Amino acid sequence: MFQRILCATDFSDTAEAAWEIACDLARTHRADLVLVHSFTELPVYPEVAVASVQRVWEEQRLWVQQALDQRVGAASARGLRARSLLKTGPAPETIVDTATEEGAELIVIGTHGRTGLTRLVIGSVAERVVRIAPCPVLIVKPSAVREHVRAAA
């Protein structure tokens, strides 16, 4: 049914659980798997030394790329067709744009499960993705992390 599955990650516990579920689905459907991370734009702070801000930003971006490569390498070692993309921009729009560009038929994304004022202030990337996605979206809740940890023990 699914030929290409896109999984978004922010490297949180729920994103890791979402990645595992995406890998399972890719195996079941013999689908290609695309792991995407939306990186923050380089901030502009006129009162701070630009070189030091840019150095930290570049170090973080390098860490993210290595983390993506590690996950894709592990998936490939398990016989999956996987690759990663490191994009820059606002997470919800970047995830949806990437799904469209890649022809993804399913997006898998974790949610932190925030409610109330915290959700109002911080917002929900997963909720926005569901609203604007061109394809079905599978939301992985924090409870899936607990179940994943129990299964691994």
Taking the domains of the chain in order of start, what are their residue ranges? 4-11+27-152
**DSSP annotation string for 54-119:** HHHHHHHHHHHHHHHHHHHHHHHHTT-EEEEEEEES-HHHHHHHHHHHHT-SEEEEE-----HHHH
Query: What is the predicted pLDDT for the residue at 114?
Result: 53
pLDDT in tens, 75-105: 999 999 999 999 999 999 999 999 999 999 9
CB atoms inside a 10 Å sphere around CB 93 = 15
CATH 3.40.50.620 describes domain 4-11+27-152: yes
Check pLDDT > 60 for residue 146.
Answer: no
Secondary structure class of 48 (helix, strand, coil): coil
The answer to whether the beta carbons of residues 54 and 25 sit under 8 Å apart is no
pLDDT in tens, 96-139: 999 999 999 999 999 875 555 444 444 589 989 999 999 999 99
DSSP letter at 140?
E
In whole angstroms, give the CA distance from residue 32 to residue 23: 9
